[in-house]
Structure 1
Amino acid sequence: MTNPDAPTPSGGVTWRAAGARRLARQGLDTPGGTVASTAGAMLGAHAQVMSAAELSLALRTGGRTTRTDVRAALWQERTLVKTYGPRGTVHLLPAADLPLWTGALSAVPAGGPAMPDGVRMTPEQTDEVVAAIRDALAGGDALTADELTDEITARTGSWAGDRVMEAFQDKWPRWRQATHTAAHRGALAFGPVRGRRVTYTSPGVTPLPGPAALERLLLHYLRAYGPSTPPWFARWLAAPKSWAARLFAELAAAGRITEVRYADGPAWVAAGDTAFDEGDGPRGVRLLPYFDAYTIATQPRERLFPGAARDRALSRGQAGNYPVVLVDGTVSGVWHQRRSGSRVTVTVEPVGPALSSAAAREELAAQAERVGEILQARAELVVGEVTVGPHA
């Protein structure tokens, strides 16, 4: 296990230098760029909690971007797409990058069976359902889950609509276990909400060939979050470690990635991307929402969540379940926002002394004000205990 206090090996990349580059490259140092380019730089915004995705993007984007601008990029300008991204979770991804994402994600080996016998579809049934989804959505209409169920069963048979999947004290039709697979193959994305009902639509994309897409995705990941290792990449992607090790080895042999010294051992960066400026290291206070990409992807986690921050801000070792306060690139607290009418209360619970200085408190107040601006509300900062538990 990485020792968070251990020095970096002589001649290697330090935690400070890696952190400064990561913050700069995804707009957390100096916000800039468009909503779509920002989503590309951070490799997508986790959107299980939509307000968190809006915060993740707007905090990094130039100008005075608000949640309305993010929604416009998604539903009017169509420069963003809401779909299933890495780890099979809902993300906002740049529309221009969707051929890359679908090509890569559809080529990642699947894990073990997620559904029990009697519920689980065979690979052949999954292919049949994905083909039915592609055909049903080809006309461009956005369909609710019930409407899509009717279309799928008409093309495949009643078995696809059997309500056998456990889902929030309800039962979902069998085909829905293939939803993220259909998204990864470019057959499905989310459409605008109709009332309170989720809809699905065709993203109109042709995935890139798998090998080329995987290479590009890994290089993009290393530029955003490197130096990294096969186990860290596998964890970020929810992929088998052995498969990730083979991918790294192939690209290393081809001269596409370069080994450096980082943390306690070897790690990799994209070839030709070995410059790290030690400088003053990462600086500034940032409020990162649930499942922020920086919190999820940055490694080693022991240095991102040092000491008491590990116990307070991680949930069973999993990052993202708490919004975090980032001080100079390191987690130094948790926070929560609660909206009431036109006001949003931002409660911050510091961990350790990093937020004790007057300068840090001034930056914290500015960040809370920025959160309110993004959410189009008047922010009130409270420093005290966060009593809300982790997100499920």
Structure 2
Amino acid sequence: MLDEDRCKQYAIRQKLTEPKEDFGLVQLIEHLCGIQDQVQGSVYLAAKARLKNVTADKIQKDLWERRSLVRTWTVRGTMHVIIASDWPMFRTALRPEWEDRWSRYLQKYATWKQRELAAKAVLEVLDNGPATRAEIQKGVEQLLGTKSEWLTNLLSPWGGVLKDLAYWGEIVHGPQKGSEVTFVKTKDWLPQRLPFLPEDPDAALSQLFLRYLMAYGPATIHDFAYWSGVSVVRVKRALHLVKGQLRESDHRYDVAFSMEELENAEPAEIAFLPKFDCYLLGHKEKFYLQQQYYKEVYRPAGHIQSVILYKGKVIGVWTRSKKNRRSGMDTKLFSPLDADIQERVLESAERYLAHEH
């Protein structure tokens, strides 16, 4: 049996409320510590589930014109959209994980010397402005005078040397060229007056932990390690730095969250969330999902399905559909629901996918 109160409180802290929140997109992304952006359109759909007024065009303007948002690799080594002023915190907190753990697969393809050579060449290419992966590869091959397999592997879509440079703080994503993503030097792209942050990775991680708890708490150290991808050893060091600012109960930590805010808000009765939504990635324990349906949501090879929530509980999954003209999606509910609830699910589905641009 799921803990309904815990599911409701989690939905509220994730800004899945009824009525929807009326604050800005940038504030939402700051609160959630970023939105994963592995799948096209996921940032828009995650925001639309939580905000009254959001458009895909506004997201593009915040990313590429106002530059209040930035797209780069952050937690778990995955692509996220975060707020620009948070970039120093993520970079400093996560750099050791990339260097010591997440990038180990590159040791099969290239030496540290080769990674450094490739990184230097990439930065030379980007001196001329934003460039696509193909443009970077062509320029690097010319600079190094080689098309060796190690170089091809370092410039593969998995990230390679581009991830090296991202976690070293040298590059972020730039505006698209047609359908192609580009990369740009951070110093040329982000505002020069970013907040000062100590260069101690554990201090930065402790600040990230505090921020995480606002949207995902109460949570255990293992939940935070699962969400961030960092080692439990580092989480414990970060916790030690801020433990005096936290409340603890049953091995779960939390910040001083306003209970009045939770009591005065209502979770959305029905919510649709896109693939890899942060709601599904915040905790190791899936307290909002009945165990027998785990494999319906968390699929092989790390794939996480789009889900339907009912008052914070996962009750089904959904996929886009051209055949379903009413809602534009096919739904699969895990167990039968009252006819009136099923009708409200369909009505919510229509609103969710309507007017995507």
Please tell me the TM-score bracket, short chain as reference.
0.7 to 0.9
Query: Match for 1:164 among 136, 150, 156?
Result: 150
Structure 1 residue aligned with 2:280: 295
Amino acid at match of 2:90: W
* 1:123-149: CA deviation from partner (whole Å, max 9, x where unpaired): x5545544554454356x111223323
Structure 2 residue aligned with 1:231: 222
* 1:343-368: CA deviation from partner (whole Å, max 9, x where unpaired): 86211110123x4341x234323321
Amino acid at match of 1:235: Y
Scaled by the length of structure 1, what TM-score is found? 0.76
Shift of 1:152: 4.4
Shift of 1:338: 3.1
Amino acid at match of 1:224: A
Q: Distance in 1 between matches of 2:281 and 2:218?
A: 15
Shift of 1:52: 1.8
Structure 1 residue aligned with 2:13: 25
Structure 2 residue aligned with 1:90: 79
CA 1:148–1:248 in 2, change beyond 3 Å: closer, same or farther? same
Structure 2 residue aligned with 1:311: 295
Shift of 1:322: 0.9
CA 1:349–1:165 in 2, change beyond 3 Å: closer, same or farther? farther
CA 1:181–1:274 in 2, change beyond 3 Å: closer, same or farther? farther
Shift of 1:201: 1.1
CA 1:180–1:363 in 2, change beyond 3 Å: closer, same or farther? farther
**Does 1:336 pair with 2:325?**
no
Structure 1 residue aligned with 2:353: 372
Shift of 1:369: 2.0
Report the secondary structure of 1:352's partner residue: coil
* 1:166-213: CA deviation from partner (whole Å, max 9, x where unpaired): 87xxx9469951222321232111222223332111233568323332
Q: Which moved more, 1:49-58 or 1:103-112?
A: 103-112
Relative to its length, the structure with more strand (as a share) is 1
Compute the RMSD of aligned alpha carbons.
Answer: 3.2
Determine if contact 1:259/1:268 at 8 Å carries over to the other structure.
yes
Amino acid at match of 2:346: A
Amino acid at match of 1:188: I
Determine if contact 1:104/1:214 at 8 Å carries over to the other structure.
yes
Shift of 1:214: 1.3
CA 1:177–1:51 in 2, change beyond 3 Å: closer, same or farther? same
Determine if contact 2:216/2:282 at 8 Å carries over to the other structure.
yes
Q: Distance in 2 between matches of 1:193 and 1:163?
A: 27
Relative to its length, the structure with more helix (as a share) is 2
Determine if contact 1:66/1:373 at 8 Å carries over to the other structure.
no
Shift of 1:61: 2.2
Query: Match for 1:363 among 331, 344, 351?
Result: 344
Q: Distance in 2 between matches of 1:176 and 1:292?
A: 22
Shift of 1:46: 1.2
Report the secondary structure of 2:105's partner residue: coil
Determine if contact 1:18/1:227 at 8 Å carries over to the other structure.
no
CA 1:87–1:174 in 2, change beyond 3 Å: closer, same or farther? closer
Shift of 1:55: 0.5
Amino acid at match of 2:164: T
CA 1:125–1:350 in 2, change beyond 3 Å: closer, same or farther? same
Shift of 1:331: 0.8
CA 1:344–1:166 in 2, change beyond 3 Å: closer, same or farther? farther
Report the secondary structure of 1:228's partner residue: coil
CA 1:146–1:326 in 2, change beyond 3 Å: closer, same or farther? same
Shift of 1:102: 1.8
* 1:7-53: CA deviation from partner (whole Å, max 9, x where unpaired): xxxxxxxx444433332233211333222111111121111112122
Q: Distance in 1 between matches of 2:355 and 2:25?
A: 13
Q: Distance in 2 between matches of 1:175 and 1:25?
A: 33
CA 1:187–1:87 in 2, change beyond 3 Å: closer, same or farther? same
CA 1:343–1:135 in 2, change beyond 3 Å: closer, same or farther? farther
Shift of 1:217: 0.7
Structure 2 residue aligned with 1:345: 328
CA 1:128–1:17 in 2, change beyond 3 Å: closer, same or farther? farther
Query: Match for 2:171 among 176, 188, 191?
Result: 188
How many residue pairs were aligned?
343
Report the secondary structure of 1:91's partner residue: strand
Q: Distance in 2 between matches of 1:298 and 1:327?
A: 19
Report the secondary structure of 1:268's partner residue: strand
Amino acid at match of 2:296: R
Q: Distance in 2 between matches of 1:349 and 1:173?
A: 36
Determine if contact 1:164/1:173 at 8 Å carries over to the other structure.
no
CA 1:34–1:100 in 2, change beyond 3 Å: closer, same or farther? same
Q: How many percent identity over aligned positions?
A: 22
Determine if contact 1:129/1:175 at 8 Å carries over to the other structure.
no
Determine if contact 2:155/2:161 at 8 Å carries over to the other structure.
no
Amino acid at match of 1:26: Q
Amino acid at match of 1:289: P
